[in-house]
Structure 1
């Protein structure tokens, strides 16, 4: 039987010539990074070095202001005297953050473009970097207080140092930052740790600018008050502890027969763990009345801190800083009062330690110092910012009487 004729396939098989093969092969080759000309790299290197030198020098200057916030600088008395220091610090920090972000992206993403990086670094060195320093120099203690200027100097110096850290990481070899060196805050996209630190430093400057002088002092006094509250609670808890009756008996009737107990290792451990002294039951030195007196005055001091924040500091927004504040004594009043308000928590903490040690002389001197400082702190805010007496002035008089009475 004859077979039916086979149908010819209509499928066309392409012919692969050598040229076609090489063409397909070339498409699969990895892309090579574009060659960067040496002139662009040299320009980038020069700009980076210049930015680092300027920023480092200004950071040192701000460090000097931080150490001595009452110091004045010639540059600050002329070109920066009319600047709004707070607003300038905020704007410059935001701009520095934005430009630093650009730099971070440019040095971790292909292709590496030295000309673009050079432009951003130049703008950073010419704009926000000197503006950040100028803001601190323009922060005149006669308008903003030494306390606020010191804090601004510290935060702005930290920001400049973080700028130095980031700029110093800009590659000068024409290649982006290696993947292994991108240990930043965003693992998915790749980033630099220095970028996150710079953002944090910039945000801290902006936060300070946003709350201003009044907000910063309120923040400080709340922190001091929290510390005083901790001291109060710890001292109160200690004062309520009862003396160990077993310990009192062993001390009162100790003799040579107790040698076996001394040799007991477990007893030594127990004694060590319970070594804090308590007020003796008979209280021969009159410790307890002094503890109660201290606790009462410590509570009054806590009320004072709260009242200062509400009755005085909250109203600073209306009077400080202002163009007419140059002849005002308000900044000096705040600086002087801050010295006392700052040391009171430490002094009360030291006094509590004297109680824990049952140190009679230390207790007496500590009480005198703490009560006198508390009274002085109240006097610092007796009059309002218009140098007039008011309802709070009357409260301060009563507070003073309570702190000084026997």
Structure 2
């Protein structure tokens, strides 16, 4: 059957103006997606009913995000080729943008914003990481979309008959922007591949590193200022001179531990010793607890036929969230402790040290037993650690 002339006339092929309009509306959609990934937006969602919960709990967000991220990387490659191959064809580019925005990105964002249900297998740290990574990926894809808009506007100005392809600078811009999107995809895929265990171990190691760096700075501060004014000793070592100068720049001459500040010096030594022990605690928790977190839960499958709610108190995912919050808080409190020492505020330093130790004890209590609720080697070790901390 021959096509109806009137129908064909009423549906002309997309032109550059239509493509430009689509890029603008898609940018608005990306802004909406990014807004939905904020913590406040997640918290403001209405509670789900039982049916929604059951459906969501059977779904593994990591699998969806991994699949959509892989697809986005492929779509991005195709789109970059369309931009580099003359002439720029609006219909092909619009189809690809539609596939990404209404399909791939919509599914990715939905998975990243899934609320923690009764059988949550991800935990708050993983959910926050996924939202942050997806937001960054949306931003990079928005940059590529902006590039499409600029290309379309230029081709519209030149006219289709003068479209001889991209200039060298435009080609480099396409390749660079595409590369950034690829990097974002690879980073998100790594999070999915590493899973909950890989992420929580990496986070804990980062927090431990921050803690030990702060302890070392405190120790050097106390050691360097002990002999303030002894020029002969300062001249004897280039390393000591360098450390002394840098401390001067950071803390200022007024914030030095004098020879008469014996009680503050004793408190500093006590703090350094105790915080080093806390660093040891991180190592033990990483090895005995975080690396042994049930991977079946981390990948969305039930373990050992358990049906109890992971959102309830005393379940592995709930305990994990509490433990990670405690491990994150300790280095932040140590920063406050350092500030108290630099201000020569003994009372505040004493109070803040107590807070650090109490948070460490709370972490011990949270992780005292295994994820199955049994006493083990770490249980015995933690009791000895607590005794040593009190005696230090």
2:127 aligned to 132, 135, 149, which one? 149
Specify the alignment match of 1:179 in structure 2: 167
- Higher gyration radius (CA): 1
Q: Unaligned stretches of 5+ in structure 1? A: 1-36, 248-268
2-side partners of 1:168 and 1:245: how far apart? Answer: 60
Kept in 2, the 8 Å contact 1:337–1:380? The answer is: yes
TM-score (norm. length: structure 1): 0.74
Distance 1:103 1:360, change over 3 A: same
Specify the alignment match of 1:129 in structure 2: 105
Task: Verify: 1:243 aligned to 2:227, yes or no.
Answer: yes
More helix by share: 2
Specify the alignment match of 1:26 in structure 2: none
1:290 aligned to 251, 267, 286, which one? 267
Kept in 1, the 8 Å contact 2:13–2:91? The answer is: no
Cα deviation, residue 275, structure 1? 1.0
Kept in 1, the 8 Å contact 2:369–2:376? The answer is: yes
Cα deviation, residue 401, structure 1? 2.5
TM-score (norm. length: structure 2): 0.77
1-side partners of 2:248 and 2:289: how far apart? Answer: 48
Distance 1:206 1:386, change over 3 A: same
2-side partners of 1:283 and 1:204: how far apart? Answer: 49
Kept in 1, the 8 Å contact 2:42–2:113? The answer is: no
Please list, as runs of the form range in 1=range in 2, the aligned pairs for 1:241-390 lying within 5 A after superposition.
241=224, 242-245=226-229, 275=253, 277-284=255-262, 286-321=263-298, 322-323=301-302, 324=306, 327-328=309-310, 329-390=315-376
1-side partners of 2:68 and 2:267: how far apart? Answer: 54
Task: Verify: 1:198 aligned to 2:181, yes or no.
Answer: yes
Specify the alignment match of 1:107 in structure 2: 83
Q: Comparing 216-225 with 78-87, which one deviates more in the overlay? A: 78-87
1-side partners of 2:325 and 2:18: how far apart? Answer: 50
Cα deviation, residue 168, structure 1? 3.4
Q: Unaligned stretches of 5+ in structure 2? A: 1-10, 232-244
Please list, as runs of the form range in 1=range in 2, the aligned pairs for 1:39-58 lying within 5 A after superposition.
39-41=13-15, 44-45=19-20, 47-49=22-24, 51-58=26-33
Specify the alignment match of 2:237 in structure 1: none
Specify the alignment match of 1:265 in structure 2: none
Specify the alignment match of 1:161 in structure 2: 139
- The CA RMSD over aligned residues, in Å, is 3.3
Kept in 1, the 8 Å contact 2:140–2:180? The answer is: yes
1-side partners of 2:165 and 2:308: how far apart? Answer: 50
1:97-139 CA-to-partner distances (Å, cap 9, x unmatched) read: 1101211221232122222222222222333111211221346
Kept in 2, the 8 Å contact 1:80–1:137? The answer is: no
